Every structure is written in structure tokens, then in C-alpha cells.
Structure 1
Amino acid sequence: MKKSLFTMAALAMLAGCSLAPVYERPAQPVAQAWPAGDAYKGVPAAAADAKPVSQILWREYFADDKLRQVIELALANNRDLRVSVLNIEKAKAQYNIDTAALLPKLSANVNQSASRTPSTMTGTGEAAINRQYSGGLTMASYELDFFGKVRNLSEAGLQTYLGTEEARRAQQITLVSEVANAYMTLIADQQRLKLAQETLKSQQTTYELSQKRFASGVVAGTDMYDAQTSVETARNDAAVYTAQVALDQNALALLVGSAVPENLLPTGDLSEVSQLAAIPAGLPSDLLQSRPDVQEAERSLRAANANIGVARAAFFPSISLTASGGSASRTLSGLFKAGSSTWSFAPQINLPIFDGGVNRANLTIAKADRDISVAQYEKAVQTAFREVADALATRGTLDDRLTSQQALVQAAEKSYTINEARYRKGADSYLNALVSQRALYSAQQGLITTRLAKSSNAVSLYKVLGGGWQPELPQPKG
């Protein structure tokens, strides 16, 4: 018995050879620097000691306290994020199952077997009942991992599990950015609604003045009808944005996973809420490796690489061990007494000879899966690079757009003020005032849109550079 146990231990120590290819990260299929050109001139250069975006926590990045609280609610209640967490638990359990195959499985058992022999078959002429009791430890069929099959299965399970962790990180970063964008979109639509209501109120006054002048015969009917078109346009926009604000609140509630408390809904201007921390933009492209979706793609590639080792091991012999040891007796009282010990040891060698090409086909599939994963990894890197480049190009031109739009609003305000005053004094028809009023209204709407674009770009850049993940731990009180 001792010799058999020693043999088992020696064989187990010899196991562990792996036939999986040595993993090498594919070369980055993108440039080593961000694009340059006129679109990127407005992007500030990063300081030498700039913290990578992946290390900037979202609580540090978003300065508005209400917005931070809304994000915390979303991280606690969002159903998509909850599914990601459950997928992690599922993958972890599967990895534990795969890892358990590296160790032998032992079980304790106590058995009884009884049989009756009829009197016609016994020499004594009387029926006989035979009983046998046994108990001990049993090791089920345990495969010695000479060629790394079990270890590579465990490695593939580990990489799949870690991939779900990266998927959860990606889901959280996406959720944070979606909540921030939805929150700021709600603010922008509130401002558009406020602008439409103020315009309606102003144009209603002008329309009433036109009605009085038309009734007294001072102006033609065209002035009154022109003023009415402006009123109805503003009335329509007010109704549209009233509905849009409600839709924005519904969208925010879906992201949060519950109704947003009234005290956390935005009430200020976009410029007051979207005070976001600065982002170091001039970073080398290899920092894209910090993006969780890129890391998830690499985990899939590692798992596919390990599966090649599993497929290769199928070409080689496999050795399985089954053993048991314990005690046996014809009587229950004699079980485990001196002289009742028993054991069995049954090694088995399986050598594949002919399988109709199944093993070779499985190896071809494993290699194809690895090549597919390489292409998917490279595509993930290229997509990440493109998203960052797009965000940087937008960021580089937003300041010019915002400055131009602010100047346009100022010029439109002056034009409208002059033409409105001339109309009220009867020095001009309402047509010029109407044209300038519509130009002002359009410029003000454009300014709100540009401010929202700048805030959304900052959020997008934060997301595409892989920033903002940290465990959601209870915050200290006081």
C-alpha cells in the first residue's frame, strides 16, 4: 500500500508539462502617438507628471455633488451593471470547477451488501444469507496532468473569469458616462425650454402691440401675422421641450434604476454643473491598454491560447488513477478491527490510436479561435485609438466653436435690440425685427448645444481613455 501511494505521488510530481504556445501580446496595430493637425491644435499638452486617466476616479472628476449622488444611485441600482456582477460570480464558480480537476477527489463511504442463496442451492438444505460490510476512502478516477490538459483548462477558465471582471469595469465606466451625459442633456433641455418660454413671453407682448397697431390702422396686417408666426413658433418649441424634459427624466431614471429624488434633479445652468476636472490629453497610444474592453479582449486571447494546449494534449496518452482503501468484514461489529484492512489500486492508460480526425479537427478549431481572438484584440485596440482620436479632434475645435457662438449671440442680441426698438417707434416694419429675432433665437439654441457638446466631449474623453473605475465601498461618514 505504501509503495502504491509513493508511486502515485511520484507520478503527480512529474505531471505539469504544458503544450500551449508561449503567449506573446500582439504588436499594437496603431500609431505610437495621437494624430496631429489643425483639428488637434486646441488640445492642451499633458504635463510630464500627469496622472493617467485610468487612475482618475470618477468622484474626483465630476465636481457637482448632485451629479455624484445620482451616479452613486445608478451604480447601486442599474440592472445592466447588476448582470455584470452576477456574470463575474458565475465565471468565478466555473473557474473553481476547472481548478478542482487539478486535485484528486476523495470520498468516505460505508457499504453493506447482502445476498440470499435458496435452500436448493446450498449443501445444507437450508437457505443462507450472506452479508458483507466495507468502509474507507475512495479516490475517483484522477487524471495525471502530464501534458497540461487540466492546467490549460484551468488557465482558460481563469482568463474567462478575469475577462468578466474587465467587462464589469467597462460596464461601470460606460454607466458613469451615460448618467453624466443624460444629466447634462436634461440640463440643456431645461435651458432650451426656459429660452422658448422667455421667447414666447417676449413675442406675445410684441404680438399684442401689433394687434393694437393693426386695429388702429397704423400698420398693415402683415406685421401682425409676422408677429403671430413668431409667437406660435415659440409656443410649439415650449411644448416640444416640455415633453423632451420629461423624456430626459425618464431616461435618467432608467439608467439610475429607480426614480431620481426631486432634490437631486438639476436646477442650475449647464456651466454650473459641468465643472469637470481637466484631462491630460497628450498621452502615448500604448496607454489604451488600460481600457477594460482592450484588457477583456486580451483575456479572451489568453484563454484561446490555453485551449490550444488542451487540444494538443488530446493527441497524447492519458493516465487515470482509481484507488480505495479501508476495511471489510462479514459482520458490522468486525468492521475496522485488526486484520480487516483492504485496498485496491487501478491505474488506467488511454492511448488514442484512431478517432477519425476528431483530435486534429479540434486542434484546427482551437488555432482558428486563437487567430480570431488576435483579430478581435487588434480591432479593440484600433477602435479604442479611433475613439480617443475622435474625442481629441472634437476637443481641439470646441473652444473655437464656443467662442464663435458666444460672439454670434452677442451680435444677434444687438441686431434684435436695434430692430425691435425701431419697430416699436414705428420707424420700420416688423419684418426686420422678425428676422433678427429668429437669428437670435437660433444663436441662443446653438450656444446651449455647443456648451453641451463641450461637456459631453469631456465625459467621452474620460470614458474612452479608460478612466474612472474603483470599488464601490461605503463612504466614510462625517
Structure 2
Amino acid sequence: MKTLNLGFTISLALLLGGCMVGPDYHRPQVPMPAQYKELPGWTAASPEADEATKGDWWTAFNDPLLNQLEPMVSVSNQTVQQAYANYQQALAEVQVARASLFPTLGVTGSANKQRSASSSALSSSSSRRAISTSGSLEGSVSWAPDLWGKVRRSVEESKASAQASQATLANATLSEQVALANAVIELRITDADIDLLQKTVDNYAESLRVVENQGAAGTTPPSDVITARTQWESAKSSLIALGIARAQYAHAIAVLVGKNPEDLDIPHSTSVPTLPVIPAGMPSTLLQRRPDIAVAEREMAAQNAAIGVAIAAYYPNLTLSASDGFSQAPLAGLLHVANHVWSLGADVSETVLDFGARHGQVAATKASYEAAAANYRGSVLTALQDVENDLSNLRILAQQAEVQDAVVRDATQGAQIALNEYQAGTVDYTTAATAQATQLSAQQSALSITQQQLLDTISLIGDVGGGWSAEALSTGQSADTKAR
């Protein structure tokens, strides 16, 4: 009869195990525009450019240093390593939560030897010590069937949290890759500025030689010599100062790839990375391509599952247990069938009165879900804002670069004319020096525009998710390290 009752209890538990209290998760709808506001003014991308943000997106800049260092970020960058360890921890927590779905099996064994006192029939005043042995060997099983889905909701919550950690890892990797690309661009532009200033110093040195010769011949006042020398020395000072920025960018690059600053030597480059055209895609693709949006969405799913865990506390808990083994005193013959022992049991517990604790917990988890949902919608809005900013920046910078190129041409021509006029004696050297300073300023402004175009292009790549997709999120039960 006991066996029949226990079998009925187990069958009922299995039947009820299909129940899960709490709301099932559905991703909330967010309004997405059909296209970006800036797209009508944006250059249409060629089919080749569409590949620029897939996979190794940095190759579109055609820079050997970027191609060499970017793959190292996912392996050696310490921020990425920290995010990877957090992801592994989250996967382990999924395993812990899933284990509660299954019975717990155990084996216990014991052996005792005991000396006890016993009275002697021959003498009432004396006693002798007797030695006895005993032992037991038992196997046990305990199972708390998931009647109301509390464990399954916990597994659901842990899996969503693990996916959020995986997306966080992807986001950290992308962020560090973008930071490395920015540092390389800054370094390359600094090298270009060094080349520009070195050429300017050489030109100013030649101008100083001409002015000094004319001063020695008495055809120009000493003030012109001082002006030319000051201009040359000022350019040399600016050239030297660029060494500080270059060293800092080189050190930052080393740290981003997990190296000591002194371990990475980056030679001077005479070329600037190519400015690629990056397709922004459609706004709706951000929901799949931005890892930070995926983090917010998975955190929302985890909070939704937590509601079910909290609601399950209203229902009773059932624990089934059984043991089977042998027990014998004395120890000899322990495994004989006559010493076989077993037990079956079922425990039911229910909280009758908790003065609103469970109600408060459910209300708290629902509020946490609403906060996560607001964070998700806010992340989507921020993503749209980021891409719109990048597109408007690139559109306006393209217009500015076109005008600035004309400024450089005119300033270069004006400086040459002014220098020729000075050598002909029709203007003083101050006029020529001013024209040369205007030329240098125009060239540096053009270089700054190129720098900002490259940086905003990298920003656009990061803001549309790089080459990542939410499809990369692991749904398996084992540790998945593909995110690295």
C-alpha cells in the first residue's frame, strides 16, 4: 500500500510538473523608424562597402597596424578577459540552477566498535568490558518535483542572465576594439602632423636662410631676421611637443592589446588610413546588431522569469525521499538479506502567514521588470541617437573637407606668392610670414577634419554593432566560448 501511495504521489508530481506560474516572456515592441533621418543626405554604399562592418571590420581602413593588433584584443585585453570570466561564471550558475530539476543521490556508510559494561553472574562486585561492532550501508535519493515551475523559472532566469553576460562580453570586445582603432587613428594623424610640421620647419629654415643672407647684404632690416628665426623656432617647438601625444597614444595601444607600454614599439608611418564608406543599414537591425541592446533585452527576460520564481513561493513545496541499504550489529554479515532496510517518505510544506513578505517580493520583481523594460527602450533610443549623430557628423564633415581642400590650395598659393613678393622686395617679411602661418593652419585644419572623419566612421561601425549579431548568443546547455 505504501508503494502504491508513493507511486501515486510521484505520478501526480510529474503531472503537475508541467505547470509554470508567472508570465511567459514576450519581447516588448518598440517603435522603430523606417529609415534614419540622415540617410537621404548620406552617400549610398557600394556592395563592397557592405562587407566593411561584417567580421574583421577594421580591415576596411587598410592599415597594417590595425590588422595586426585588432585580433589581439579578444585574447589579451584585460577588460575583455574580465567580461569573459563573468560570462563563464554565469554559465556555471545556469548549470547549478538546472541541477535542481533532478533528484539528489547519496551513499552513506558507517562502522562502529564499542566497549560496553556488563554485569558478571559470578561476582556482583566486579564487571567486565564487552566489545561489540555495528555498521550500515545505505543509498538515498531525494527529489523536490518542480510542481509550480519555480526551478524552471530559475533556470530561465539564469539562462537569460548568462546570455546577457555573453552580450556584455561582445559589447566589451567591440568597445575595446573601437578604442584601439581610435588610438591607432590618433597615432597615425599625429605622425601625419609630425610630417607636416617637419616639412614646415624645413621650409621655414630655407626662408630664414634667405632672410639672413638679405640681412647680411643690408637689403632687409634686422627685425625680419628675428621674425623669420622666431617662426622657425616656434615650428620646431611644436614639432617636438607632438612627441608627447605620440608616446601616449603608443602606450594606450600597448595596454589595449594587453602588453606593457615598453614592450610595443610602433614605427613612424607616412600614410593615413583609408576612409571607408560604411552602410548604416536599417534602424530595425540595431535590435539584432547592438550587443548593448541585447544585454538590456536579456536582462529584461531574466527579470520576467524572476516574477515566476517569486509567485511560486505562494504554493506548497513537496519533497520525496527514499533510502535502501543494510544495517547490522554485529558488523559480520552486514550485506545479508536479513539485514536489508528501506524507507519511503514525502514531506509537504506551505507558508500559512508571512505578513505580506511574498506579496512584497512579487511586487518588487514586477517593478524590477518594468525598470528593465524602460532600460531596454532607453537603450534602443540611445542607439538610434548614436547612429544619427554619426551620420550627420560624417555628412557635414564631408562638406567641410571639400571646402577645406580649397582653403589649403588657396593658402598654399598665397604663401608662395607672398614669399616671391618678399624676395622681389615689394612686401615686408611679416606679410610672407603671415601667409606661411595661414598655410600651416589650413593644412592642420584639413588634417583635423580627416581625423574626425576617421573617428566618426569608427564610431558608426561601433554604433551599428560592428560585425556582431544577436544570433551569436548561446542557447545550448554547455559552456559556449564562441563569443571570444
Q: TM-score, normalised by structure 2?
A: 0.88
The RMSD of aligned alpha carbons is 2.9
- 1:434, distance to aligned residue in structure 2 (A): 1.4
1:307-456 aligned within 5 A: 307-456=306-455
Unmatched tracts of structure 2, length 5 or more: 473-479
Quote how far apart the aligned CAs of 1:280 are. Answer: 2.0
Alpha-carbon deviation of 1:428?
1.1
Aligned to 1:274: 274
How far residue 156 of structure 1 moved from its aligned partner, in angstroms, is 0.9
Residues 221, 238 of structure 1: CA spacing in aligned structure 2 closer, same or farther, 3 A cutoff? Answer: same
Identical columns (%): 27
Query: SS of the residue aligned with 1:197?
Result: helix
Name the structure 2 match of 1:33.
35
- Written as runs of structure 1 = structure 2, the 5 A alignment for 1:114-133 is 116-119=115-118, 127-133=129-135
2:227 aligns with 226
Matched ranges for 1:29-178 at <5 A: 29-36=31-38, 41-45=40-44, 55-58=54-57, 61-113=60-112, 116-119=115-118, 127-140=129-142, 142-178=143-179
User: Which whole-Å CA distance do the structure 2 matches of 1:472 and 1:243 have between them?
Assistant: 40
Separation (CA, whole Å) in 1 of partners of 2:159 and 2:105: 24
Deviation of 1:161 (Å)? 0.8
Could you say what secondary structure the match of 1:94 adopts?
helix
Partner Cα separation in structure 1 for residue 360 and residue 481 of structure 2: 46
Aligned mates of 1:327, 1:219 — CA distance in 2: 118
Q: Residues 438 and 363 of structure 1: is their aligned pair in 2 closer, same or farther, counting only changes over 3 Å?
A: same
Equivalent-residue separation in structure 1 for 2:459 and 2:130 (angstroms): 85
Residue 62 of structure 1: how far off its partner (Å)? 4.6
Check 1:404–1:349 CA distance in 2 against 1; reply closer, same or farther (3 A cut).
same
2:475 aligned residue: none
Distance 1:51 1:334 in 2: 79
User: Partners in 2 of 1:402 and 1:188 — Cα distance?
Assistant: 15
Deviation (angstroms), 1:46: 5.6
Number of the residue aligned with 2:188: 187
In 2, the alpha carbon distance for the partners of 1:333 and 1:455 equals 85
Larger displacement relative to structure 2 (67-76 or 48-57): 48-57
Measured against aligned partners, the alpha-carbon deviations of 1:43-64 in whole angstroms (never above 9, x if no partner) come to 1246899968764443654543
Deviations along 1:288-323, one digit per CA (max 9) or x if unpaired, are 332111011111001100111111111111112232
Q: Give the equivalent residue in structure 1 for 2:210.
A: 209
Whichever residue aligns with residue 274 of structure 1, its letter is: T
For residues 47 and 274 of structure 1, what CA distance do their matches in structure 2 show?
15
- Name the SS for the 2:332 alignment partner: helix
Contact 1:19 1:313 in 2 (8 A): yes
Instruction: Say if 1:428 and 1:54 are closer, same or farther in 2 by CA, change over 3 A.
Output: closer
The answer to whether the aligner puts 1:237 opposite 2:238 as a matched pair is yes
Partners of 1:317 and 1:408 in 2: CA distance: 80
| CA deviations over 1:64-97 (Å, ceiling 9, x no partner) | 3432111122332111111111111111111111
Letter in 2 for 1:207: L
TM-score between both structures, scaled by the size of structure 1: 0.89
Stretches of 4+ aligned residues off by more than 6 angstroms: 47-50, 260-264, 470-473
Distance 1:200 1:65, change over 3 A: closer
SS of the residue corresponding to residue 339 of structure 1 reads: helix
Instruction: Find the aligned partners of 1:249 and 1:117 in 2 and give their Cα distance.
Output: 81
| Structure 2 SS opposite 1:134 | strand
Taking structure 1 as reference, are residues 21 and 401 closer, same or farther at Cα in structure 2, changes over 3 Å only? same
Structure 1 counterpart of 2:73, one-letter code: A
Instruction: Tell me, in whole angstroms, the C-alpha distance in 2 between the residues paired with 1:165 and 1:62.
Output: 28
The answer to whether the 8 A contact 1:66-1:266 is kept is no
Aligned in 2, Cα 1:52/1:220: closer, same or farther, shift over 3 Å?
Answer: closer
Q: Which digits, 9 at most, give the CA deviation of each residue in 1:95-118, with x for residues without a partner?
A: 111111111110122123455543
- 1:150 CA displacement: 1.1
Higher mean C-alpha deviation, range 460-469 or range 221-230: 221-230
